Amino acid sequence: MTYTPYSQYLASGLAFVDQLAAINRAREWAAKELNVHMGLVLDISRQITPDEGLVTAEWAVQGMGEGVVALGLGGPEVGNPPEKFVEAFDLARSAGLHSVPHAGETVGPESIWGALGALKAERIGHGVNCLQDSVLVKELRQRQIALEVCPTSNVCLKIVPGLASHPLPRLLSEGLLVSLNSDDPPMFNTTLTDEYLKAAEVFHFDVEAIEKLVFNALKVSFLPLEQKTALEKHFRAEFLWLTAEHLRY
């Protein structure tokens, strides 16, 4: 789960330590009552200054061991290249946090190159505009840098005119490591389940294609290997059961 703590601080004056405590109460409840577990990505909004971004990175480091697993970068790309926050990401990575900036959503391949070079991105939020640069596509494919693709969000923000013209099938055909994501569910009136349903309907994805997207997401998660292995076993059993149930009807 990604959220932007500095924006919350500016809006309400709520200190980061209190923000994190509130979120962790919810995380603990969800784990106990719903068996839903999550890690936190603290997100820098590109509109703030590099010094303010550094504050977010410091908060992220403080939150290690309390659910925070990565530092992200979101907000308007135009005029705010990844290089603007290199110091913040250097600090976070040196402490052991993962790097997961958004790039290549409303700006072209140069934003993705910047995220890879300056921020040492391990995953790229969106990244759909990588298709404008064949060299970049090859780089992403060879390094297996995951793209967190959010079709409904891309339509709402007019990155593409409609779902039918979304580049998701082409990204997959290029051999890129793609996961399906919801971006900001309340803002875009969607859920992760909705994204899978739409992909199956619009792109005629079969069970094998959907299963691949699920396992891509698991592969690029930041879970410990033991938990990944257990989840993979569980997911494969679930897919086998679902397939058997489908064949019954």
What pLDDT score was predicted for residue 245? Answer: 73
The sign of the torsion formed by the CA atoms of 142, 146, 151, 155 equals negative
Element spanning 134, H or E: helix 134-143
Task: Count the helix, strand and coil residues of the chain and give each as a percent rounded to the nearest 5.
Answer: 60, 15, 30
Residue 19 lies in a domain: yes
Residue 151 lies in a domain: yes
Residue 146 lies in a domain: yes
- In the chain, the number of structural domains is 1
Q: What phi and psi, each to the nearest 5 degrees, are found at residue 201?
A: -75, -50
Confidence grade of residue 249 (pLDDT, cut at 50, 70, 90): low
Residue 148 lies in a domain: yes
The range of the structural domain enclosing residue 64 comes to 2-224
Confidence grade of residue 242 (pLDDT, cut at 50, 70, 90): confident
User: Please, what is the Cα angle at 140 between 135 and 145, to 5 degrees?
Assistant: 165
Residue 231 lies in a domain: no
pLDDT tens string 66-87? 999 999 999 999 999 999 999 9
Residue 244 lies in a domain: no
Q: Is the pLDDT of residue 244 over 90?
A: no
Q: Which residues are catalytic?
A: 105
Read off the pTM.
Answer: 0.94
User: What's the chain's average pLDDT?
Assistant: 96
Q: Is the pLDDT of residue 43 over 70?
A: yes
Residue 243 lies in a domain: no
Residue 16 lies in a domain: yes
Can you give the CATH number for the domain in which 57 is found? 3.20.20.140
pLDDT tens string 87-115? 999 999 999 999 999 999 999 999 999 99
